[in-house]
Amino acid sequence: MALKVRIPTPLRKITNGKDEVTAEGKTVKEVIEDLEKNYPGLRERICEEDGSLRRFVNVYLNDEDIRFKDNVQTEVKDTDEISIIPAIAGGRR
């Protein structure tokens, strides 16, 4: 069984407009690889060439930032939900 992955608006053109898709894997890295198979071009938007997350992309497993867990090696279960969230910069001076 696959787990849910929430897709941010800027990446929905890759997922044919879907705001939520499913993917399989035992770790976040495997989930990203599965997403890439079904939605080519997604991985390069969220990961560096070495497979690490891009600096301005946050990935949450349920409500926890994976950078405070085992990063892309964080283990997942079918009942989990992953959210890909682009970081927002800027503000008032």
* pLDDT tens by residue, 1-51: 689 999 999 999 999 999 999 999 999 999 999 999 999 999 999 999 999
Closest CA to 83 of 22, 7, 21: 7
Q: What is the DSSP letter of 48?
A: -
Domains of the chain and any CATH numbers = 3-86 (3.10.20.30)
Q: What is the pTM of this model?
A: 0.90
- Confidence grade of residue 87 (pLDDT, cut at 50, 70, 90): confident
| 3-state class (DSSP) for residue 76 | coil
